[in-house]
Amino acid sequence: MTRHNPGDIADGIAPAQANASGLDGTSTHEETVIQGRENVVTAREATVYHREDVAQRREEVVSKREEVILARERSVTTREQDSRTKESLKTATDEHLTLLQKANAHLVIATLEAHELTEQVQTAREQMKYAAYHDGLTGLPNRMLLQDRLDQAIESARRQARPLAVMFLDLDRFKYINDSLGHGVGDQLLQSVAQRLQNSLRHSDTISRQGGDEFVVLLPNVEHAKDAAISAEKILAAQILPHHIGSHKLHISVSIGIGVYPDDGQDAETLIKSADIAMYHAKERGRNKYEFYKHEMNKRVVERQSIEAELRLALERQEFVLYYQPIIYLLTGKIVGVEALIRWQHPKRGLLPPEQFVSVAEDCGLILPMGRWVLHEACRQAQAWNQVGFCHRLPSPSIPPHTSSVPRISLKTSVKRSRKQACHRTCWNSK
C-alpha cells in the first residue's frame, strides 16, 4: 500500500473537479466517489500510520522509562551491594583489627617473655661462668682463673723485663680446728681468712683459693723482692689476730712461700711449685713466717716426700720403737714415772729422732695412728712393769698441752682403751 499525504489528496481533488466539466456527469461522479473513497482510505491509512508512530513512540518512551527504572534498580542494587560490601568490609576490618590487637598483645607478651628469658639465660651464663672461675666457698678466683691471669702477667713481665711474685699460703694446723670443731666452723674460718687476705692486698693482686686451706697470691706489680716481703708481712699481721666464728675465738697462723719471676721459674707451674716448696720450708722453720724460694730447697722437698712415703710403710712394718726416760722425784730420788720417746728404726738411715719425721706425720695425717700406737705400746709396757713389781701401780700418762695434733678427747679415749687392753692381755698371760 502506497502512503499518501493529506496534501496530496487535496491536490487530487482539484484536478478532478477541473476535469469534471469536460466529462459526462455519471463518469465524473463515479470517479469523484472513487477518488473520495481512495482519499478516505488514504486518510485512514495515514491516521493508522500516525497512530502506529504514536504507539511506537509511546513504546519507545515506555522502553526508555523501563530502562530508566532498570537503571535505577541496578543503581539501588549496586548501592545495596556497595553498602553490604562496606558493612562486610567494616565487619571484616573490625574482626581483623581485633585479631591484630590480640596478635599484637600476644606479640608484646611473647616479646617481654623472650626478653625476660634472654635475661635469665644471660644471668645463668654469667653465673655458670663465674662458678667456673671462682671458688664456691670464698668467692675467690680458682685455679683456672689464676692460671689465666698468671700466664698473662708472666707474658707482660717478659715484655717489660720486670719481675713478679707468687706467694703460696697454707694455714697452720687448720686440720685440727676442722676435726675438733667441725667443717661448718672450718668453712667460716676459711671465709674469714679470705676476707682478711683481700683487705691486706691491693686490688691489682689476685688471691686464689687452691683448695682446702691453701691459697695462692699473684703480685704482678713488684719492683723488688722486698715488695713481696712487705705484702707477706701484712698478711701475717692480719691473720694473727683472733677470728670470731660464732662463739669461738680462733687463732690461726699462716706459712708463706714466695717465688719470684724469672729467677724461680719462667712459667706458671714452675713459679707455683717454687712458692709451694718455700712454704714447706717456712713450716719446717716454725710456721707463721714467710720464706723466699732457694734452689737448695728442692733437695729437702724430695727428702720430705720420701719420708712421707716411708712413714706409711713404717706403720705397717712396725719400725717405730719407744725409749723410756725416767721421771725422778728429787726429794726422795725415786722413779715416779717415765716419759715415752718415739724413735724410728729406719732400715737404711738408722735410728731417727722425732724431729726428723713427726712434723711430716702431722702434715700428712699420720700422727693419729702413730699416737695411738705410742699410747698402746706405753700402756702395755707400763702394765708389764707392774707385773714384775717395778711399779706399784699403773701410772696415768699425762697429755702435754702442746699436743695439738690429736684432739684431747680422742687421746683420753685412746689412753683408757689402751690401758684396758694392756690389763686384759697381762691377766690372760698370767693364767
- Residue 392 confidence (pLDDT): 46
Question: pLDDT tens across 293-311, in order?
Answer: 998 887 777 788 888 889 9
| The three three-digit cell numbers of residue 328, written as one number | 725422778
* Mean pLDDT to the nearest integer, 372-389: 86
- Residue 116 confidence (pLDDT): 87
Most trustworthy range by pLDDT among 20-24, 116-120, 201-205, 377-381? 201-205
Q: Is the pLDDT of residue 241 over 70?
A: yes
Q: Is the pLDDT of residue 50 over 90?
A: no
Amino acid at 293: Y
H or E element in which residue 363 lies: helix 358-364
- Residue 420 confidence (pLDDT): 54
* Mean pLDDT to the nearest integer, 208-233: 92
Closest of 241, 238, 240, 193 to residue 213, by C-alpha: 193
* Mean pLDDT to the nearest integer, 99-125: 86
β-pair type (254-261, 164-171): antiparallel
Confidence of residue 14 (pLDDT cuts 50, 70, 90): very low
d(CA 263, CA 260): 6
- Residue 223 confidence (pLDDT): 87
| The three three-digit cell numbers of residue 377, written as one number | 705400746
* Mean pLDDT to the nearest integer, 405-422: 47
Closest of 276, 165, 265 to residue 214, by C-alpha: 276
The total of other beta-carbon atoms located within 10 Å of residue 306's CB is 11
Amino acid at 149: R
Confidence of residue 160 (pLDDT cuts 50, 70, 90): very high
Q: How far is CA 134 from the centre of its chain?
A: 11
Q: Are 62 and 70 in contact (CB under 8 A)?
A: no
Question: pLDDT tens across 62-106, in order?
Answer: 888 888 888 888 888 888 877 777 777 777 777 878 888 888 888
* DSSP one-letter code for 242: P
The total of other beta-carbon atoms located within 10 Å of residue 294's CB is 13
| The three three-digit cell numbers of residue 167, written as one number | 706467694
* Mean pLDDT to the nearest integer, 114-137: 88
Average pLDDT, the chain: 82
Q: Rounded to a whole number, what is the distance in angstroms from the first to the last CA of the chain?
A: 178
The total of other beta-carbon atoms located within 10 Å of residue 292's CB is 22
Q: Are 381 and 322 in contact (CB under 8 A)?
A: yes
Most trustworthy range by pLDDT among 26-35, 36-45, 136-145, 385-394? 136-145
